[in-house]
Structure 1
């Protein structure tokens, strides 16, 4: 079975959450019989921070501009059983048009940023990764966000068939690791700077750091502005490649998860970092949002923080209490949230969509 993906990036995890997710999913899809080509525009932004050269389970097609790859893309699309176009793909409109014209298999849109997409539309903006027709011409729309967002994709963008495909983690890449001194802290946070996440970071990390000057706090990520409210006990680690994530998570007593405002408001949108931390055996304290308890059990597998006081209290837990939290969270993620589990879900979803009334059948049974 042949799959063609037109995405933001798979070769660089710099400043985005798409790359790591695609790597795990593609690696897990290959044993299920999928031959995968990932088309990625070769932008200087990602080329300067590329942390993958060989895609395990797939083939990367880097291209400087759409005109340079249009012919090769057309050939790949005509031969594909499924074509997936993603949110924030710089050539999503062109790729979608090509899929509608030439793909004899399934035409799929995967919105890995559903909450942001819907928020922009509600504000009167037109996201650049689909045209004025919205999503009505796709056979299937996959959404990184569940809950009420699934209905909104239908009512606001005309999607006909919508199915959630949540985040996940590759436990071969994210697993317990030896702590490293440069990452050591009482509370760590790994995430790209985002303005709509800043209030949560200040409440759940910056304020606890002010309250607990003898504790060490560590932030890892990219794009943090000079005006970020640093203090003497908050230490910064510039963007970390995925290979360093396990050591980062395992070097602190607790790690913090903060969700972007649009995602938290819609709910049912767990970040990939949340699953990565759990797979690495980290004790996690997270902001709260609707649907979180569908993925982890609060108080048993994950701690919830609604205020600075909650984070301070979490830091006061004993090593034994945090160790139990780590163990249960890791067990949950290995049972339910691995890349292999999501790949099997996607495989099933594609087969069901291809065999739905009015659909063209795939060439083979996956």
Structure 2
């Protein structure tokens, strides 16, 4: 490396620090894919000395194998230490990946044999998918109500000494109990038990999905505990069912025009003590609000999916029009963000800060000119 070389930006390796005032010796660590390796770089003391040195620990030297002569040559040629360290880190990353691949291949035959044997015990008809490296296996179980459920098992090269990572369609966390003597059979048995514990939860939501117009989510998954149910034109209720106590009163939030939802909210608040856990959640909600939910048998979903009266879209960045003009003769629906931007553009609109720190913007409805407001937090 030429004398006078720039060492001002050795941020590439944050654990490589100068060891003298002249900044000719650096010592510390280089990080690569979660591993740390000891590294020492010695630079020329003055312009008459052209020779630079690099030292690394035995583990890094083994991984780099025949690349060290090339690395030393590049150190001599580079004018900036930071540029050399960038090249070195890229080379180390590549070498570490290659080394991990060889380590995986060396253990693969034994691991493949073990997994094939375990899958044969589980039964192949329960295998939905398996990748070519046998690192991810997707398994299926069918519950007592003929519903399908899936668990994806991610297997490392240290299996079974290292527990597999599991992702499921359960509405609550799946905690795998594991020791090195266990297998995929044990994973599936624990998953089956967890599925059975949630039968009542899925029964509750299946009844709601079948008997009401669910506005959100559009395509519910088995892990989804929330439903936004149509109550009428521009009015809905969002409920969140507790997966552990599915027959209890769910969290409820009314959305829509005040003149429509206020009587329903008042009815519910007056009747909360009437909740009967022996009845279905759907029946309880209807009795508390003193209504019957619009049914797919007698109505169309389009009747409850009014587009935004400003942007003329129903869904905008995942949001639906849930801000409604309170004037009954108007009753237009808007996205929160659309109404906020509309009111902000009006010279006659005003803003105020509530006692809770929220900014409210006041103005006129774009259609009927009646007073309307939206909170800045909702934009």
State the TM-score, normalizing by the size of structure 2.
0.23
Structure (1 or 2) with the larger CA radius of gyration: 2
More strand by share: 2
State the TM-score, normalizing by the size of structure 1.
0.23
